[in-house]
Structure 1
Amino acid sequence: MNDANTSMPTLKPARELADQPSRFPGESAEYRRARNALLAEEIELRRQIERVAAQRRALPPGGSVPEDYRFEGEAGEVSLSQMFGAHDTLVTYNWMFGPRRERPCPMCTSLLSAWDGEMPDILQRVAFAVIGRSPIDKLVAFKRERGWRHLRLYSSLGNTFNRDYAGEDPAGDDFPALNVFTREGGVVRHFWAEEMGPSTSDPGQDPRGAPDPMPLWTILDMTPGGRGTDWYPKLAY
């Protein structure tokens, strides 16, 4: 749903909504009781996601960026402010494909493959940049190999963007990062970043944000086997 209507209607209790008649062929009464209890929790989860999104949108202005970083794009040099294009919001993803890597991170690649398909829709609302520290030719070569059509790639080789906004250490190890920037009156500010990681992860779980931006995990979370404990995406099968 969109957030155009900011009024807060009185919500029916989740359990009341969950207990509306619903049946599938062959299910037992025991299954339906358990399923309705789960459905009530799913409704509450949806509501919590909406509350968190509203709280995120209400953040006060973030810090202004320290410089108008220069990147190498697929069509030549471009600045961070130029990445906005006609939009006032820019989303950036730091792709783990630094110069020390012969091949990119499989998890990042899986995520970007999903986003490539959504990009024509995303770009209707915001600008989106995929940033890696390898030379642009190396990034583009993999884009072609993977068959990506819509992702816009930029090399941050030579600037400090990854260190400033992805927390990379001076040794040059690369990390994933999702950031949102805004532009108003010629001033570019940092709006929000995905700040959950190893230090905030729960026991027995891989580090992840909430909501999880990977459609892969969202689908697997709906299945009996879940995400599993010993499986991750690969670059090829």
Structure 2
Amino acid sequence: MTVETMLAPPEVLAARAKSRWPGESAEYRAARTALLAEEIALRRQIERVAERRRALPPGPVVGDYWFEGVEGPVTLAELFGDKETLVVYTWMFGPERERPCPMCTSLLSAWEGEARDIQQRVALAVTARSPLDKLEAFAAERGWRDLPLYSDPSGDFSRDYNAIVPDAGEIPQLLVFTRRGGTIRFFWAGEMDDTSADPGQDPRGAPDLMPLWTILDFTPEGRGAEWYPSLTYPNA
């Protein structure tokens, strides 16, 4: 018998929940309990997907890649530091852009606060094709201090790992590499795009990487169809 078959049905767990809120109606409680069952099922689905993701058989990295960091040139292998896993985010901030992608920037602003925590477990790198001084200037403007930024001056890494699409446009990528026994392998990357998007939704992965959307998904207004985060906000 598997762990999955031993679990109580989501509806049973939802019915056991004790939370009640001031002024709630019987109609609200019935609808909320039904929704809670779906949320429990979603939690389990997320765990199932994560387990299957961890079981992927990684493939070899072909090619030598180097980047420009604050301490000079660095190879892909050196990005690992003392860790066995490396997470790379490709920031949409190519040399043709005066300003970076607002969506990428919103995501990275959230990650800025988590960067040190992430790096306790794995190595982290944010790459972009613009020169390093351009990346650092914007990071200073945004108040970033902990995100490790690297320029991909040749564009080879960005090109090989699908951060540049055939029409020369940019797309963000979250890439995971492993290093076991001294051998670097490609482990996982997001693959949801326009071809796999559902009608009326932006192409996005799941779980969503952006805390912003997670919070807005809890609200009656939701994400909105035409709204984007800003690159600048008035000082408080």
In the superposition, the TM-score normalised over structure 2's length comes to 0.94
Tell me if 1:131 matches 2:127: yes
Give the C-alpha shift of residue 165 in structure 1. Answer: 0.7
Tell me if 1:13 matches 2:18: no
Q: For residue 140 of structure 2, what is the aligned residue in structure 1?
A: 144
Tell me if 1:213 matches 2:209: yes
Q: For residue 22 of structure 2, what is the aligned residue in structure 1?
A: 25
Give the C-alpha shift of residue 16 in structure 1. Answer: 0.8
Give the C-alpha shift of residue 173 in structure 1. Answer: 2.2
Q: For residue 49 of structure 2, what is the aligned residue in structure 1?
A: 52
Give the C-alpha shift of residue 85 in structure 1. Answer: 0.3
List gaps (5 residues or longer) in structure 2: none
Give the secondary structure class of the aligned counterpart of 1:19.
helix
Q: What are the equivalent positions in structure 2 for 1:68-87 lying under 5 Å apart?
A: 68-87=64-83
Task: Give, as a single letter, the amino acid of the residue that structure 2 aligns with 1:105.
Answer: C
Aligned residues: 230
Task: Give, as a single letter, the amino acid of the residue that structure 1 aligns with 2:124.
Answer: F
Give the C-alpha shift of residue 186 in structure 1. Answer: 1.6
Per-residue CA distance 1:119-145 (angstroms, 9 max, x = gap): 111000000000000011111111111
Task: Give, as a single letter, the amino acid of the residue that structure 2 aligns with 1:40.
Answer: A
Backbone CA RMSD of aligned residues: 1.3
Runs of 4+ in 1 over 3 A off after TM superposition: 169-172
Q: 2:163–2:172: 8 Å Cα contact kept in structure 1?
A: no
Q: 2:90–2:163: 8 Å Cα contact kept in structure 1?
A: no
Q: What are the equivalent positions in structure 2 for 1:93-112 lying under 5 Å apart?
A: 93-112=89-108
Identity %: 64
- Of 158, 180, 186, the residue aligned with 1:184 is 180
Give the C-alpha shift of residue 114 in structure 1. Answer: 0.1
Give the secondary structure class of the aligned counterpart of 1:181.
strand
Paired with 2:101 and 2:39, the residues of 1 have a C-alpha distance of 32
168-177 or 179-188, which moves further after superposition? 168-177
Paired with 2:187 and 2:165, the residues of 1 have a C-alpha distance of 22
Q: For residue 41 of structure 1, what is the aligned residue in structure 2?
A: 38
In the superposition, the TM-score normalised over structure 1's length comes to 0.94
Give the C-alpha shift of residue 68 in structure 1. Answer: 2.7
105-114 or 167-176, which moves further after superposition? 167-176
Per-residue CA distance 1:129-170 (angstroms, 9 max, x = gap): 000000111111111111001100011111410011124136
List gaps (5 residues or longer) in structure 1: 1-6
Q: 2:178–2:187: 8 Å Cα contact kept in structure 1?
A: yes
Q: 1:72–1:136: 8 Å Cα contact kept in structure 2?
A: yes
Q: 1:70–1:159: 8 Å Cα contact kept in structure 2?
A: no
21-30 or 49-58, which moves further after superposition? 21-30
Give the C-alpha shift of residue 74 in structure 1. Answer: 1.4
